[in-house]
Chain A
């Protein structure tokens, strides 16, 4: 079975622009979570979605938004990019997003904001 896939692999944007990152979960997984990982730090939780509904949100500004589609894939959108948004954005999928479910991470999208 394929693992979690993310696209694009790398992305370069300039300040003020908008970006959309995409994630396809493992087949059969209904929950997707997004994390931001700044260089040298641990991943920070942004969102979790389950069955197209937002279940949790981390401490991120409203410039960050996400959605989940009927096929359980997900998009993370970031508006009005700042230099500080440069990071590795990770997507993780799990069966139902329960605390006992293992989260499987994708390879990430490296976003550079100039």
Chain B
């Protein structure tokens, strides 16, 4: 099963674009890449999912290169409320592997 590697923490300022990169060298052919956001003592919340190239929704973009060995979550114009842990996970066959997550701190 593919494992993921993310930066442990990142700091940003309000209004900036934040890019969080995740490495998943052993991703399988049928694995999708999914990102979740988690606030303390709450369940993770789905942000975005993709298989290849670029996916965009109302809150984020996901960039996936052709080899799919990494992916980048892009959060445009972050606010203080975006301070959370962000998880990159890959999985298929119903098993998701959460990595260590990236603690994003947004500063005023």
Contact = CB atoms under 8 A, between A and B. Distances in A.
Interface string A22-61: 0000000001010100000111110010100001101000
A103 B96 contact: yes
Interface in B21-60: 30-32, 34, 36, 41-46, 49
A108 B101 contact: no
A16 B68 CA distance: 45
B30 A99 contact: yes
Interface stretch (B11-19, B75-83, B85-93): B85-93
Chain A, interface residues (CB within 8 Å), range: 20 to 34
Contacts of B30: 99
A108 B98 contact: no
Contacts of B98: 35, 42-45
B45 A105 contact: yes
B74 interface: no
B101 A42 contact: yes
Contacts of B43: 4, 90, 92, 105-108
Interface in A85-114: 88, 90, 92, 97-100, 102-108, 110
Contacts of A41: 100
A42 B42 contact: no
B96 A100 contact: no
Contacts of A99: 30-32, 91-94
B52 to A, nearest CB: 13
Contact of B100 (A42, A45, A90, A110): A42
A99 to B, nearest CB: 4
A103 B99 CA distance: 16
A82 B36 CA distance: 29
Which 10 A-B pairs give the minimum distances between C-beta atoms? A105-B43, A42-B98, A99-B92, A48-B94, A56-B94, A97-B94, A43-B98, A56-B95, A102-B46, A105-B44
14 contacts: A41-B100, A42-B101, A44-B98, A45-B95, A45-B96, A48-B94, A55-B94, A88-B41, A90-B44, A92-B43, A102-B34, A105-B36, A105-B44, A107-B42
